[in-house]
């Protein structure tokens, strides 16, 4: 039996999802460090969450991560902004790398897209590992940089990385 | 209230010359409308009836012939308006007849802060050569004044020093002045705005009231909220009497009537007729210190039409109107299931009725209103209730309204979530039998 499995994210997870998002481990490296209010979360759920593609990564039937993918168009190009939300207050490097690997396997199937990730500069683990997953830094002189930062409301403390998924 | 007005504000005197100065619209109304309420005349007609006073009514916006001095003065005021963003239209008041009347007056009543800004320079001069007592009625002075702006700050101090009495019609603004400008507090009076209850009185007992009414042009009204409410509540019929909706698209269930009180584009009798057919008046507001929505709310209540209004800092009578108090339950259903079964979204406190809603699979938004309603999320979820908020969230009225609309839109999805909920009815039955010792069932 496979130790790690992925599951479809259903609407009935709405309250648990908020609890996960409000875990310190997630807020610490998020652009907004504030605890999210329930009313704001409910509004976001109906307005934004339903537009993104998410799935749950379970280890031994316990949810450990939620993988999120937001799809958007910019300057005639298709983009996916992906993220990972921890479902546990603490995680280990092995699970994290496994979670990223599973997410990348999904992203590989999304042909003809450009994948974007943003990493807090203080997040030393991910700042050392992005290269192993085929990402390259998106530098400020790139013509897409400003549009992406503005569109995704990425904070200045974050570095942006991208990779192209070819046909 | 008239007694307070006659006594406290003007004192006891005989044959005094009293002059009311309005911005515009009163003369037009007096000439063109046969029956008018005296709401915005501030007891003018009472003085007019009395033989003890010589009463005059003047308006700032008067029609004037060309005069070079007035022209240059108008350019100066244009500059003042540009620098301060405040209303300076004193040039329009400058004509011999007006100045003569003002000069002869013993007491002058300026009916709002715009009039007082406009005539500030004139009275700075006049106060030096004649003894006049000047009273201002205020309804939103501090929402217009920015204390961090040096021009505004100077103007405000000049006004406090120059004018003799300040009548606040809103309690919020009166308290604000007492707290922030206590050095002039002896000049402050609080007289809640009142409406003409002889005029604003329902003529017939209309049982067939259907309309939801929005009335007013005040910029502190939340036009967008009102419009979205109307747009999304298609089963209800709305009447918007306002100039604030010109940029919005027309909707089948929203009737928009352009109106400006001072221009008399819709007579007061017409507005009373609209109240006659309205079931509810809504007064959504942007938070401000101005006692916004006061006249419309009082007129509406006087017409027996209930009001829903936003609670703002400038709410005009928080002593009388208490949030969550004096709520009269007009309809108390005996069978809650019967009511809920026809409901698309059930909004309730997280009380016993949530069991009925759960049984009937009605999408719900629950509020934990007291300490007894303290179940954890997963317990509500077992009953199929995935949306539960705290009492304090009720303050965010805009967000709650938006959430209800979104839940309404997604109600089929929420129903599916409820169907999945895993409450075991048999276990509940067992527990009931055990706790209440129903052995024979």
Model confidence at B441, pLDDT cuts 50, 70, 90, reads very low
Domains and CATH numbers, chain A: 4-165 (3.40.630.30)
Q: Determine the pLDDT at residue B365.
A: 93
SS3 B311: coil
Q: Tell me the chain B residues in contact with residue A37 when contact means C-beta distances shorter than 8 Å.
A: 393
For B266-299, give the DSSP string: S-HHHHHHHHHTEEEEEE-B---SS-TTHHHHHH
- Return the residue of B nearest to A50 by Cα: B410
pLDDT of B2 above 60: no
Question: Torsion angle of alpha carbons B173, B179, B181, B187, nearest 10°?
Answer: 70
Q: What does the CA dihedral B423, B429, B430, B435 come to, rounded to 10 degrees?
A: 110
CA distance B405 to chain A (A): 10
Per-residue pLDDT tens over the stretch A6-57: 999 989 999 999 999 999 999 988 877 889 999 999 999 999 887 789 999 9
Q: CA-CA distance, A113 to A126, in Å (whole number)?
A: 22
B8 touches chain A (CB under 8 A): no
Best B417, B418, B422, B423 member to test A by mutation, with max A CBs in 10 Å, is: B417
> B2-190: what fold?
Rossmann fold (3.40.50)
How far, in Å, CA of B163 to CA of B91, rounded? 20
Q: Which of B386, B396, B420 sits opposite A39 (nearest CB)?
A: B396
- Chain A contact present for B407, CB below 8 A: yes
Q: What residue of B is the nearest CA neighbor of A12? A: B417
B410 touches chain A (CB under 8 A): yes
Q: Do A46 and B407 touch (CB under 8 A)?
A: yes
Record the pTM: 0.52
Cα B18-B23-B27 angle, rounded to 5 deg: 70
Judge: B420–A37 Cβ closer than 8 Å, yes or no. Answer: no
> B292 with B140: CB under 8 angstroms?
yes
| Average confidence (pLDDT) over B309-338 | 72
B430 touches chain A (CB under 8 A): no
Q: Which of A11, A14, A43 is the closest to B403 by Cβ? A: A43
To the nearest whole Å, the CA of A68 is away from the closest chain B CA by 21
What pLDDT score does B327 carry? 63
Residue A42 vs residues A14, A16, A22, A65, A86: alpha-carbon distances, Å: 8, 12, 14, 20, 19
How far is residue B57's CA from residue B62's CA, in Å, rounded to a whole number?
12
Nearest CA in chain B to A10: B417
**Could you tell me the residue ranges of all domains in chain B?**
2-190, 211-309, 336-436
The answer to whether B390 contacts A15, with C-beta atoms less than 8 Å apart, is no
Give the rounded distance of the alpha carbon of A129 from its chain centre. Answer: 15
Burial class (CB in 10 A: 0-12, 13-18, 19+), A11: middle
Alpha helix (H) residue ranges in chain A: 14-21, 24-28, 38-47, 93-108, 124-129, 145-152
Dist. CA A9–CA A56, nearest whole Å: 6
| DSSP per residue, A24-66 | HHHHHTSS--SPPPHHHHHHHHHHTGGGSEEEEEEETTEEEEE
State the CATH architecture for B211-309.
Answer: 3-Layer(aba) Sandwich (3.40)
Residue B439 has pLDDT above 60, yes or no: no
Query: What is the ipTM score, two decimals?
Result: 0.87
**pLDDT of B308 over the 80 cut:** yes
What is the model's pLDDT at position B423?
61
For B367-376, b/e burial (b = at least 16 CB within 10 A) is: bbeeeebebe
Distances, alpha carbon A44 to alpha carbons A14, A73, B270, B413, B420, in Å: 10, 20, 44, 16, 22
pLDDT in tens, B60-112: 876 667 778 888 888 988 998 888 888 888 888 888 888 888 888 888 989 88
Distance from CA of A13 to the nearest CA of B (A): 9
């Amino acid at each position: 039996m496979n130790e790690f499995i992925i599951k479809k994210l259903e609407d009935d997870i709405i309250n648990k999802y908020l609890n996960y998002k409000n875990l310190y481990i997630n807020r610490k490296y998020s652009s907004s460090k504030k605890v999210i209010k329930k009313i704001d979360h409910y509004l976001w759920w109906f307005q934004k969450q339903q537009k993104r593609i998410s799935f749950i990564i379970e280890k031994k039937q316990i949810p450990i991560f939620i993988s999120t993918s937001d799809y958007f168009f910019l300057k005639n190009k298709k983009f996916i902004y992906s993220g990972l939300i921890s479902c546990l207050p603490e995680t280990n490097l092995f699970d994290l790398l496994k979670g990223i690997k599973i997410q990348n396997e999904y992203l590989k199937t999304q042909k003809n897209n450009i994948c974007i990730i943003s990493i807090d500069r203080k997040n030393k683990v991910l700042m050392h590992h992005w290269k192993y997953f085929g990402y390259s830094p998106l530098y400020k002189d790139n013509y897409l940089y400003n549009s992406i930062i503005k569109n995704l409301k990425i904070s200045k403390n974050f570095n942006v990385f991208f990779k192209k998924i070819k046909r | 209230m008239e007694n307070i007005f006659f006594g406290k504000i003007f004192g006891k005197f005989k044959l005094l010359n009293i002059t009311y100065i309005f911005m515009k619209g009163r003369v037009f109304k007096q000439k063109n409308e046969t029956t008018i309420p005296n709401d915005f005349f501030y007891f003018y007609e009472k003085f007019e009836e009395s033989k003890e006073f010589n009463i005059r009514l003047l308006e700032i916006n008067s029609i004037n012939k060309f005069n070079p001095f007035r022209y240059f003065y108008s350019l100066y005021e244009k500059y003042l308006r540009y620098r301060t963003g405040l209303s300076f239209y004193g040039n329009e008041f400058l004509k011999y007849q007006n100045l003569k009347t003002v000069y002869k007056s013993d007491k002058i009543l300026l009916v709002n802060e715009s009039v007082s800004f406009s005539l500030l320079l004139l009275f700075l001069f006049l106060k030096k050569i004649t003894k006049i007592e000047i009273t201002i009625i205020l309804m939103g002075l501090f929402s217009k004044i920015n204390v961090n702006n040096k021009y505004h700050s100077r103007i405000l101090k000049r006004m406090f020093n120059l004018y003799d009495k300040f009548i606040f019609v809103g309690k919020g603004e009166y308290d604000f002045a007492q707290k922030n400008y206590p050095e002039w507090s002896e000049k402050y009076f609080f007289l809640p705005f009142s409406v003409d209850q002889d005029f604003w009185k329902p003529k017939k007992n209309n049982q067939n009231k259907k309309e939801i009414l929005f009335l007013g042009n005040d910029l502190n009204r939340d036009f967008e909220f009102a419009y979205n409410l109307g747009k999304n509540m298609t089963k209800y019929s709305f009447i918007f009497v306002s100039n604030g909706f010109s940029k919005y698209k027309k909707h089948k269930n929203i009737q928009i009537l352009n109106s400006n009180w001072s221009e008399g584009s819709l007579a007061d009798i017409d507005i009373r007729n609209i109240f006659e057919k309205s079931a509810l008046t809504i007064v959504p507001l942007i938070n401000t210190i101005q006692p916004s929505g006061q006249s419309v709310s009082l007129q509406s209540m006087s017409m027996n039409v209930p009001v829903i209004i936003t609670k703002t800092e400038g709410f005009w009578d928080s002593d009388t109107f208490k949030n969550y108090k004096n709520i009269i339950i007009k309809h108390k259903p005996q069978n809650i299931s019967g009511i809920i079964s026809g409901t698309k979204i059930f909004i309730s406190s997280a009380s016993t009725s949530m069991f009925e809603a759960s049984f009937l699979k009605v999408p719900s938004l629950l509020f934990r209103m007291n300490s007894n309603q303290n179940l954890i999320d997963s317990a509500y979820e077992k009953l199929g209730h995935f949306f539960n908020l705290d009492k304090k969230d009720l303050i965010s009225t805009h967000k709650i309204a938006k959430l209800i609309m979104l839940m309404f839109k997604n109600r089929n999805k929420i129903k599916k979530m409820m169907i999945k909920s895993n409450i075991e009815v048999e276990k509940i039955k067992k527990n009931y039998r055990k706790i209440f010792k129903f052995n024979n069932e």
